[in-house]
Chain A
Amino acid sequence: MSLIINWNDFTPISALIGGALIGISSVVLLAARGRILGISGIVGSLLQRANTPPDHYLWRILFICGILLATVIGNIFNLIPKLDIRSDYSTLIVGGLLVGFGTRMGSGCTSGHAVCGLGRLSPRSLLATITFMASGFLTAYVFYQLM
């Protein structure tokens, strides 16, 4: 086992700027709607039946439309680097099931726990973030180095 940093692919400035945009977005959503920016929660709740439909669906759908709009604009102006999906279809399906099931069971994903939760200094989100990061690092080691 060795640690080799790939400096060629290292993009600190765009990572910081993109991260800052994600942080700003979470603040705007809380300020405007009083809601936490958690994608698994937003998508998962849309799949549930609601007692108060307009209140339940509207902001979630608007937010997702915003994301899709960013993709469309990004595509038009060629801002999106070619998507590099190396996984085959069976891996994507197993991974998708695990991500969907796991984020609902763990009440959050990278946005809800690792950005908003840590931003709120939530011990619960810290525990979740440490768990999925550790699980991610370990799985990557086993899946890409040992298998």
Chain B
Amino acid sequence: MKNLLTLFAGLTFGFGLIISGMSNPNKVINFLDITGNWDPSLALVMLGAIPLAFLGFRWIETSHKTIFNEELHLPGKAHFNPSLLIGSLLFGVGWAITGFCPGPALVALGTGSVKAIFFVAAMLVGMLVHDRILKRVMKSNKS
């Protein structure tokens, strides 16, 4: 049941990206390019998603457990560091020049688009460079 619900969540998320237009890079670019031919649609994706997430999360967080009575794994809310800002800044640049963020890139990958394959491959390399190399260098500098 737990696994079925996880698959269902992924399926719902995928359909959400497809229906909302988030999975279309050109629509994302037309949203980010305000002074171009501005298409404000994608602001409404957040408007549709956040209130439901807010209500659902409040309901779950008050019980402190999942519906299968397991622990919640919740990240901290108030931990600020330069990496948060620099990382988000770099992400914004990559997002704007391609129109892809990680979720929609996976949807595009499913269509078999060669361009999407290139993007996702580069994204995975970027993740590995951060997680494997940068973190190791920073650790060895500290010790």
| A binding-site residues for B, Cβ under 8 Å | 1-6, 9-12, 14-37, 39-40, 43-44, 47-48, 58-59, 62-72, 74-75, 79-81, 83-87, 89, 91-107, 109-111, 113-125, 127-129, 131-141, 143-145
Contact = CB atoms under 8 A, between A and B. Distances in A.
25 contacts: A5-B39, A6-B37, A10-B39, A12-B41, A16-B48, A22-B13, A22-B45, A23-B48, A31-B66, A43-B124, A62-B10, A92-B118, A93-B119, A96-B94, A96-B105, A99-B105, A102-B94, A105-B130, A106-B84, A106-B89, A111-B103, A116-B57, A133-B92, A135-B91, A136-B93
A115 B52 CA distance: 10
B-side binding surface: helix, strand, loop or mixed? helix
Contacts of B111: 71, 75, 80, 83
Interface string B19-46: 1111111110110111111111111111
Contacts of A83: 23-25, 108, 111, 113, 116
